[in-house]
Amino acid sequence: MPSVRDILDTMDYGPAPEANGHVLDWLKAHAAGFGHFIGGEFVKPQGGKSFDVFNPATGEKLAAVAQGSAADVDAAVKAARKAWRSWSKLTGHDRAKHLYAIARLVQKRERFLAVLETMDNGKPIRESRDIDVPLVARHFYHHAGWAELIADEFPGHVPLGVCGQIIPWNFPLLMLAWKIAPALAAGNTVVLKPAEYTPLSALAFAEICREAGLPPGVVNIVTGDGATGAALVDHPDIDKIAFTGSTEVGRMIRKATAGKGLKLSLELGGKSPFIVHEDADLDAAVEGVVDAIWFNQGQVCCAGSRILVQEGIAPRFLAKLKRRMEALRVGDPLDKSIDMGAIVDPVQLGRISELVEKGKAEGGTLLQPACALPERGNWFAPALFTDVEPASTVMEVEIFGPVAAVMTFRTPDEAVQIANHTRYGLAASVWSENINLALDTAARVKAGVVWINSTNLFDAAAGFGGYRESGFGREGGREGMLEYLVPAWEAALKPGQEAAAAPLGALPATAAEPSAIDRTAKLYVGGKQARPDSGHSYSVYGAKGRAIGQAGLGSRKDVRNAVEAAAKASAWASATAHNRAQVLYYIAENLSARAAEFESRLKSMGQGAKQARAEVEAALARIFWYAAQADKYDGRVHATKSRHVTLAMNEPWGVVGILCPDEMPLLAFLSLVMPAIAMGNRVVAVPSPQRPLAATDLYQVFDTSDVPGGVVNIVTGARDELAKTLAEHDEVAALWYFGPGRGSAMAEAASTGNLKATWVSHGKERDWLSREQGQGEAFLRHAVQVKNIWVP
């Protein structure tokens, strides 16, 4: 008999299988196949088609599941809409009771759900038992609390309506909880499509909903492939789409939903850096790698697949990591002592193998332990690439498998530079015993979640979501609840009449008074006035249709110049909030000194004296309000289950494109630009095309108010033409469009390239003089993205 010491050296444990009899009995009871869950009942698919679901570890068929059609999706949406009329009117307390009931039933069936998840997905039972299912219960408990407190914590907000939700196969039940729990807490109803590889735990959850007494139609589950998901995205009666999956599909959804007026949140791919500084606890960091990339077979969107190790410790770290790899056990996921289970499907296994071969062809050195893999099922041994470059395929492309790549860095600055050399920005892990170095690195890495001396930690109280092409929106915590709510006044707005935009002519004005045209307003780029690249200007008309001046006719090249100037002004983001507040106060002070001049300008554009005075006074008040908020709209410390200080930090987007409406040309411009720069963004703003002179008159105000060059850039011209250029520019991180519905649709569709976050009006005109509609926390919230930093 081997000694304990021998066993610890070889990790050659005997099998410890988890019993799966209850799951097998459940599957046998549904041998005829599963239908959709619509209106509180399981129903047959209207097309009569089904597909088989297989156990990734054995290749054996588990069940037959309904293939959803557009008709099935329509039936589910109708059931959800009908249920929403009463569910949304329930008190928060009544909704909370339903969520508490679901949480308790999940806990009562923890072992059943864990075994089912493992058989359906292929992940080790210890992961589904100890991580996934307890987190599912946690999400329903946590959001039952939000439902209870909703009137106090989110006053003046109402639910969106019917939410279409599409989830992936890597965490089938957990992703379901992430999406359904906040939606229901907020008062919405749901049509959810699980992944075609792993629909079984969602169907088991449907039975729990029925057992918990959830009203029929509040939760509907339609199974199927990508065509079913597309039918859900395309349905005209959906108020929100929440999607977790690949960046490629996220782009398709962004394009398909453009201009529909629905709310969209995307949690997409990642290529997360795992940074090991020279003072790190190497043994702990090695265990961190195991959790970062070989957890769930690397099929994790936030997997730490790019390992960056400081040069001086790299040999020792790699030696420890190779030894630890040799001890990993791959096999039957129902075995409680297994480290890695099976890949979810042969298609995914083929993709992993293809990318690994490409990595080898590019000169990378592949390290894999000589572990015996089962003959049946989808298996891939843990893998590690060395001898790679930042541009290597295995360092750039999300493999979504148990494959990591490692390279070295010399200084902390270089580590951050390499870490940010990616189009993604979902998560990062930083290892150092120096808390100052760890926090500095965490603050500089562009990622929505950063774990310090830890990795892959999740909790319902902390938001999760990415930057850049990892998507936008957050799930969990207060941020996640706001994804499913809308201010009541905004929900009541209706689109205005859309008139054809008057062309901006470069020809001389035909109804001008020579004495009235005293100068031509240039563009404002990098803190300087600049002539438009086109060399053209257009006439601006005021009262009685007479020309009152000219403005530069900006072009694509002018937008590029403005974005470049904004990108160079990055020091504004690192300025203290106090200093930014002082600059805004100074803007208000200088505008106040010239109030009569601005009132005169507004009157020349056709406003009455009383209206012009009201607009200038409101503009001044608005600047003061955002100056006051600059150092007060701060983050939070989340109360997560783990013993961490989880910091939710508000961070600026970077460069924000802002397209302003025609109404209230001065007030609307400042109402949009001020919150953006108060939060540390730099802006490229396009003022009202028909009334730009109210904004261009601000050049001298900015010049005399210590606004650093490049923080505010103003390009005048055709709004939609300039909006398209801003939307397509990869350096622009967020886009705000306030104008006609057709322009809103174009702006959203054109933003798919780098999946920038958009905030558009869909042609709905707001009252900019109203404090409720023209200023407030919503503006500040759109001006930041939340980074959650987990500190042990």
Q: Which residues are catalytic?
A: 267, 301
**Rounded CA separation 548/351 (Å):** 63
- Are 113 and 106 within 8 A, CB to CB? yes
Residue 438: Cβ-neighbour burial (10 angstroms; 0-12, 13-18, 19+): buried
Alpha-carbon span 372 to 392, nearest angstrom: 29
DSSP reduced 3-state for 395: helix
Q: What string of DSSP letters covers 441-473? A: HHHHS--SEEEES--S---TTS-B--SGGGEE-
Distance of CA 479 to the CA centre of its chain: 11
- The Cβ-side half-sphere exposure at 334, using a 13 Å CA radius, reads 18
Q: What angle do CA 230, 232, 238 make, to 5 degrees?
A: 135
Q: At what angle do helices 412-419 and 435-444 cross, to 10 degrees?
A: 30
Q: Quickly list DSSP for 271-306.
A: --EEEE-TTS-HHHHHHHHHHHHSGGGG--TT---E
Nearest to 508 by CA among 566, 542, 547: 547
CA–CA dist 579, 707 (Å, integer): 11
Q: Please tell me the distance from the alpha carbon of residue 558 to that of residue 535, in angstroms, as a whole number.
A: 11
Measured between alpha carbons, how far is 122 from 343 in angstroms, rounded to an integer? 6
231-255 burial string, b = 16+ CB within 10 Å, else e?
A: bbbebeebbbbbbbbebebbbbbbe
Q: CA angle 410-415-419, nearest 5°?
A: 150
DSSP 723-741: HHHHHH-TTEEEEEE-S-H
SS3 state of residue 105: helix
- Helix intervals (H) in 130-281: 133-153, 172-186, 200-211, 226-234, 247-257
Q: In the sheet where 520-521 sits, what is the strand order?
A: 520-521, 547-552, 537-541
SS3 498: coil
Closest CA relative to residue 217, chosen from 240, 191, 242: 191
